[in-house]
Amino acid sequence: MGASVGEQGRTWLVRRAERLYGDRLGHLRHSGLSWHIAWKWLPALIVVGFIYGTVLQFTGRPSSQREPAFFSDIPLFLATSILTGLVLWSLTLFWSFRRVLVFDRGLLYGYARKHTARAVFWPDLAPESLRTVEAPAGVEADRLLKTLDEGGKTSLGVRGRYAVVFHGISTALAAGAPAGLASGASANAAQGTGTAAPVPGFFTFSTARIPDRLVTEIQRAMVDAGHPRPGSAGLQALPPVRISSATRLEKA
């Protein structure tokens, strides 16, 4: 299992998540990656860099009062403008990658910041709802997946023509909370988040490739944890179901 996690990318954020939440979620089994590089933004942001460089030429201090040094150093102007555009484009990388982590007791997401870390424990995930979908080439699967309630779907990935879909309840994880909590309802009660029952909803995780490894690891973890019992129905999530138009998750 450790090798599979390493192959998917054991970043420092993943290692930190193991340290912070391993006591409640168990052993890390798999790391699923969703990513999309915004290359289309690069030319536009390079243009912004040149606009910024041009503005500096006219607003900067001239070398003399008689003859301002407009574009006197073309190589420096080009380098500064391109570098500014690249720096602006690099900022898009912060939301170009997302991971979900499969542990013994549940699925972890949003762990980049401690106050946004959440988990779907296996008792809170409906086994029969776990499935994968495939959209036509060039179409994002998540955009075709709709719910009757506008806030009834949580997108965990970036984009891709494939998506893992399931229905469940997520639990907010606070670092340092008591260990051994088995489900979202008990965890929320123990953390003092109120007595209101958590609202279940649909979760999607888009990928550029068929997420067979992710689905397999989720299924194995659920079976090992007894949800559902081995031999019961409800774990036929592969192969992906093809969709080409808007699909209601409640009816799928």
> Six-digit token pair at 103?
């542990």
What pLDDT is recorded for position 3?
43
pLDDT in tens, the chain (252 residues): 444 444 446 787 889 999 999 999 999 999 988 877 777 877 887 888 878 777 777 776 555 555 555 666 677 777 888 888 888 877 766 766 789 999 999 999 999 888 889 999 999 999 889 999 999 988 889 899 988 777 788 999 888 899 999 999 999 986 555 544 455 554 554 455 444 556 789 999 999 899 999 999 999 999 999 887 544 545 678 889 999 898 888 776
**pLDDT for 172-222, tens place per residue?**
986 555 544 455 554 554 455 444 556 789 999 999 899 999 999 999 999
Helix (H) or strand (E) holding 57: helix 41-59
Closest by alpha carbon to 137, among 172, 106, 162, 165? 162
What pLDDT is recorded for position 4?
45
What pLDDT is recorded for position 164?
94
Please state, in angstroms and rounded to a whole number, the distance separating the CA atoms of residues 25 and 100.
13
**Domain ranges, ordered by start, for the chain:** 2-34+103-248, 41-92
Please state, in angstroms and rounded to a whole number, the distance separating the CA atoms of residues 43 and 50.
11
Decide the pairing of beta strands 162-168 and 131-134: antiparallel
Please state, in angstroms and rounded to a whole number, the distance separating the CA atoms of residues 121 and 12.
23
What pLDDT is recorded for position 6?
41
